[in-house]
Amino acid sequence: MLENDLKFLEETFKQYYFEHFDLIHVPDRPKEREYGYKKFNTGMIRHISLKTDKDLRLMLMTNLPSDVFCSNGYYSFPNLPMAEKDWKEADLIFDIDAKDLNLSCRKDHTCMKCVSCAEISLVQDTCPKCKSNKLDYVSLPCQNCISGVKKEVLNLVKILTSDLQIDDKNIRISFSGNEGFHVYVTNSSYNQLGSNERRDLIDYIKFQSAIPERFGFPKNNPSRTSFPDLDDPGWSGRVAKELFGSKSKRSKTITKVISDGKVAYQQKLEEMGKNSIGVKIDSNVTSDIHRIFRLEGSLNSKSGLVKLACEDIEKFNPYTEACLIDDKPAEISASSPVKFRLKNTTFGPYTNEKISVPKYAAVYMICKGIASSTGT
């Protein structure tokens, strides 16, 4: 990162934390958690123990972190090396990101940055300037991306409450600060699960490893009555809705399924899991019982947006509500071939232009790697 950008971001992040202490708190059971942070241009520093909000705020103001983290796990000795912490349990956490949803809009708001010469352009096979194929891709998510993630989150919550019988009072949803949401399950018997058991839970939620026998197609002599109904609870009902569409089409569809055979039905179930009814959670995140997650109220250095709890996810607009950097003018040199919106304002496209924009937009573009502070 350039020196001007480093100075600009450090000063801006410091100001944010100084002005928004009310948003930043240690979580429940703080003494049993591990904390960590990253600084701009440095790696992760973790195995930190904090007890109070005062401890947390002192860490923020002393170290000027780019990112702040807290464990999902609870330990007897959170400040010791991992092998000596004495793990007790861990919150069950799910991560859903727009980048994993294969949304058609992605191509309209993704650009690329050449690793070799730093040229920024619309997506193509090679860098238009130096012809290198070493490319990084930069996405500036849109409201359609967020709507897609919200849909997945609501599907996940429905499975957690109806299938797994988790009390919705123990489910908390947070915007991640970039292009997704985290779903937390706390104070639940599922918190006792180890990594292997969580992988079984992941398979269930993603609708992986489904077998035809479970959904009406036995090894021998399939019966029309054995297939699921649209009114069935759980995955049986979801499969029926996806397979038949309506009750009037059930009989005709079953005839075709039996005619096509068991192998084709297996493939159909796998396609459902990948493309429609399976919830697209990040498996590695949920199975990791020692992971540290971005702390609510902290800034995300990938965007300059804030990780925030969502009381009503359907109404929540991250590009206004989580955009808490001030709007004082900032001078930057920007190169963004695609447009984006923050605080109901459209920015871009820009082609190597020196411009003055609100500070929140300057931070967003610098964090995305498509702008640089002019230092003025």
282 is catalytic: yes
Catalytic residue among 5, 67, 91, 95: 95
Helices and strands, number each (H, E), in the chain: 10, 18
Nearest to 112 by CA among 366, 369, 374: 369
CA-to-CA distance for 130 and 121, rounded, in angstroms? Answer: 12
Please enumerate in sequence order all residues whose Cβ is within 8 A of that of 234, keeping only pairs 6 or more positions apart, or say none. Answer: 162, 163
b (16+ CB within 10 A) / e for 49-76? bbeeeeebbebbeeeebbbbbbbbbbbe
- For the chain, what are the domain ranges? 3-99+142-203+282-373, 207-275
Place of tokens 């989150």: 153
Q: What is the pLDDT of residue 288?
A: 97
Q: Is the pLDDT of residue 285 over 80?
A: yes
At 287 the three-state DSSP class reads helix
Q: How confident is the model at residue 43 (pLDDT cuts 50, 70, 90)?
A: confident
3-99+142-203+282-373 — its CATH code?
3.90.920.10
Kindly report which listed range (28-32, 108-112, 223-227) carries the lowest average pLDDT score.
Answer: 223-227
Q: How confident is the model at residue 172 (pLDDT cuts 50, 70, 90)?
A: very high
Nearest to 338 by CA among 358, 368, 373: 368
Catalytic residue among 86, 97, 136, 312: 97
Q: What is the pLDDT of residue 231?
A: 94
Kindly report which listed range (12-16, 85-89, 161-165, 224-228) carries the lowest average pLDDT score.
Answer: 224-228
Q: How far is CA 54 from CA 30, 32, 38, 58, in A?
A: 12, 16, 19, 6
Q: How many CA atoms lie within 13 A of 64 on its CB side?
A: 13
* Residue 363 near residue 373 (C-beta atoms within 8 A): no
Catalytic residue among 163, 282, 288, 312: 282
Q: Is the pLDDT of residue 124 over 70?
A: yes
Q: What is the pLDDT of residue 160?
A: 97
For 299, counting Cβ atoms within 10 Å of its Cβ (0-12 exposed, 13-18 middle, 19+ buried), the class is buried
> Bridge-partner residues for 340, per DSSP?
347
Query: Per this entry, what is the length of the chain?
Result: 376
Q: How confident is the model at residue 376 (pLDDT cuts 50, 70, 90)?
A: low
Q: What is the pLDDT of residue 166?
A: 96
For 376, counting Cβ atoms within 10 Å of its Cβ (0-12 exposed, 13-18 middle, 19+ buried), the class is exposed
**Which one-letter amino acid corresponds to residue 83?**
A
Q: How confident is the model at residue 14 (pLDDT cuts 50, 70, 90)?
A: very high
91 is catalytic: no
Nearest to 303 by CA among 317, 287, 272, 324: 324
Place of tokens 């009114």: 231
97 is catalytic: yes
pTM of the model: 0.93
CA-to-CA distance for 287 and 195, rounded, in angstroms? Answer: 5
What DSSP assignment string belongs to 79-123? TS-GGGS-EEEE-EEEEEEGGGS--GGGGGSEEEEETTT--EEES
Q: How confident is the model at residue 41 (pLDDT cuts 50, 70, 90)?
A: confident
* Residue 285 near residue 95 (C-beta atoms within 8 A): yes
